Amino acid sequence: KLTHPDRIYWPEAGVTKAGLADHYAEVWPLIAPHLVGRPLALLRCPDGINGQQFFQKHGWKGMNGKILTPQDPGYPGEGVIAIADMDGLLGLVQSAALEIHPWGSTLAQIETPDRIVMDLDPGEGVEWTQMIAAAREVRERIERAGLAAFLKTSGGKGLHVVAPLKPQAKWPAVKAWCQSLA
């Protein structure tokens, strides 16, 4: 159940809490494989995208019971945020999670990434054509290294170049490889 379904999250587009929930219901089959069973980082905006914003990486008091909080191995006593189904995603909508950023690993193998994400955010004055060119170059570099890559929007102003991995290497090795690529 959504409280205040008419709360406006994106004023310029007129998107409400209920509208976001409806959108997620429509695209659920496409996004479920990218969200279910993964730790999630959230950008929460209780008063909509133009109001207060804060990142949330761990569970909080009073959150929807359909949002999971399995143990975060890097922070003893803290639970990462995760979902198992559409009800969990609707719990995130209720909590004003306007951006959902899945980790590059699953809950089952949290220390062994199964994807990398090269996050390209434009600086002041960077044209969209330059963003496209940068994304192409990153994709080409990843592909020259022997990995497949695909593009996705970031939820903000930038682009993500994503490459699936066989979950074998630990985070430090994967991060070092990504830094050398960058």
So what's the pLDDT on residue 155? 63
| Residue 154 reports pLDDT greater than 70 | no
Q: Please choose, from the candidates 139, 134, 165, 137, the residue with its C-alpha nearest in 3D space to the C-alpha of residue 150.
A: 139
Q: Helix or strand or coil: residue 31?
A: helix
Tens of pLDDT, residues 51-75: 999 999 999 888 999 999 988 877 7
pLDDT at 153 over 90: no
Measure the N-to-C terminal CA separation of the chain; round to a whole number of Å: 44
Euclidean distance between CA atoms 38 and 82, whole angstroms? 6
**pLDDT of 85-139, one tens digit each?**
999 999 999 999 999 999 999 999 999 999 999 999 898 999 999 999 999 999 9
* Buried residues in 68-82 as b, exposed as e (16+ CB within 10 A): beeebeeeeeebbbb
Q: How distant is the alpha carbon of residue 23 from its chain centre?
A: 16
pLDDT at 75: 78
* Model confidence pLDDT, tens digit, residues 6-19: 999 999 999 999 99
